[in-house]
Structure 1
Amino acid sequence: MRATEQSRKIYLEINLEDNRLKVKLGATTMYEFPIVSGKGYTPRELGRGGRFATPRGILRVEKKEVDPVWYPPDWHWTERGLTPPASGRNGVRGHLGKYRLNLGQGYGIHGTTSGRIQPGKYSHGCIRMNATDLETVFKLTDVGTEVFIY
């Protein structure tokens, strides 16, 4: 790919320190939005090696979803002192908002039930956005869009 073609590609840049997402075209910032990112700790009560942190690195949008269905993972139940269901989990519509950009490995950029966020570090690793901000990002990205998280 030539440098001029590369500079015309939209990509996302996520700054975890500032909890900000930028939509960029080359060196130009087209939009900048507040986000919620991962808590960044390992919960003892789950007894697992995973961390509730947003991964750093270069990811890509693997799938774009409208009205995504959320299937609560085991930690959702364990945090509430409940036993996770053995099988046949029912999905929940609306929990992730109207849009989700799936980044793979269980991570994504999505909304909330209320459509609003208070920026900070309190998700389980996904990036949450205000509904109107997410709609803008959703419309500007394609499957394959690069997402730089640092």
Structure 2
Amino acid sequence: MFSQVHRFRTLGMAALAALGLAAPGLAAQAQPDTVPVDERPSGLVTREELMADRLRRIGVDNPDPAPTAPRNRADSVEWIRWRRAANAATGRRIVVSIYDRKLWLIDGRDTLLEAVAGVGMGVVRGPKGIGMRDFSTPRGRRTVLAKQADPKWTPPDWHYEGLHDGPLRQFPAGGIPLEDGTRVVRRGQHLGVQRGAQFDTIPAERPLVYGGVMYIPPFGTVNRQIPDVLGKFKLDTGDGILIHGTNDPLAVGFWGTHGCVRLFDDDIEFVFDNAPVGTPVFIY
């Protein structure tokens, strides 16, 4: 017998106050998406407008929202293929619908959780003439390879593009010589300024800007790790595609990630507790 879903989170296509642009974590005032623009209360915008404005503010000038239906025949074939695979699967599994912006945790014929999910923002053009980036959530069958509580995000190089008006370079193996004769060097997991025998660590949150150049922190250093972005929990499905929480709930239920699946904190906690390593993940 099918059991009823015992935990739901609903999220309409809310209209948010313009204040949400500066503080996306604030609660939104819900408004139906069907209200014509000229009948909306003054000062309110749709979530789609809010997300598009956010992307443009960081330099993405052609946001390409993830679709809510197949765009062409090839897209339709792939969608049908993986939806059928998800429907035919047995046992405990995670199922994600890109079009519906939903995640389900299913065990046999029982749905343990239905949750609103954020998905990839699609194909976008990066800031300052940087080439196209595909931030779509990939369809297919994946597996929960690892889980972590209180995770930190290790961003790819593209995260640093557009954060600085000047040149962007990799952190050199020999360190960065400074005008006063000191040098920024790596010591284990930390970057710092070497002054003779003294080593002063550089706070992880401080950008590495010297001589007008921004340097990308090396992998394996605390300077390359960003806290809170992934929320309280993450499930790693490989190739940089995570199922995780968030400190920015605006993108939950919408197209605002770089390919990951983003959930509200209580939903990701439930998935974290009830989807062991090895759980298959179907995305269609």
- SS at 1:147 equivalent: strand
Equivalent positions of 1:49-128 (< 5 A) are 50-81=133-164, 83=168, 85-88=215-218, 90=223, 91-114=225-248, 117-128=251-262
CA distance in 2, matches of 1:14, 1:78: 30
TM-score by length of 1: 0.84
Q: Which runs of 5+ in 1 are unaligned?
A: 1-5
CA distance in 2, matches of 1:146, 1:13: 9
Q: Which of the pair has more CA radius of gyration?
A: 2
RMSD over aligned Cα atoms: 2.1
CA distance in 2, matches of 1:81, 1:62: 35
How far the C-alpha of 1:42 sits from its partner, in A, is: 3.8
Moved over 2 A (4+): 42-48, 79-89, 114-118
Corresponding position of 1:147 = 281
How far the C-alpha of 1:114 sits from its partner, in A, is: 4.6
CA distance in 1, matches of 2:100, 2:275: 22
Residues 70 and 80 (structure 1), Cα distance of their counterparts in 2 relative to 1, 3 Å cut: same
CA contact (8 A) 1:37 1:121 kept: yes
What code does the residue aligned with 1:146 have?
P
Q: More relative contact order in 1 or in 2 (CA 8 Å, sep 6+)? A: 1
In terms of fraction of residues, the more strand-rich structure is: 1
In terms of fraction of residues, the more helix-rich structure is: 2
% identical aligned pairs: 34
How far the C-alpha of 1:117 sits from its partner, in A, is: 4.9
TM-score by length of 2: 0.46
Count of residues in Structure 1 that have an aligned counterpart in Structure 2: 143
CA distance in 2, matches of 1:133, 1:20: 11
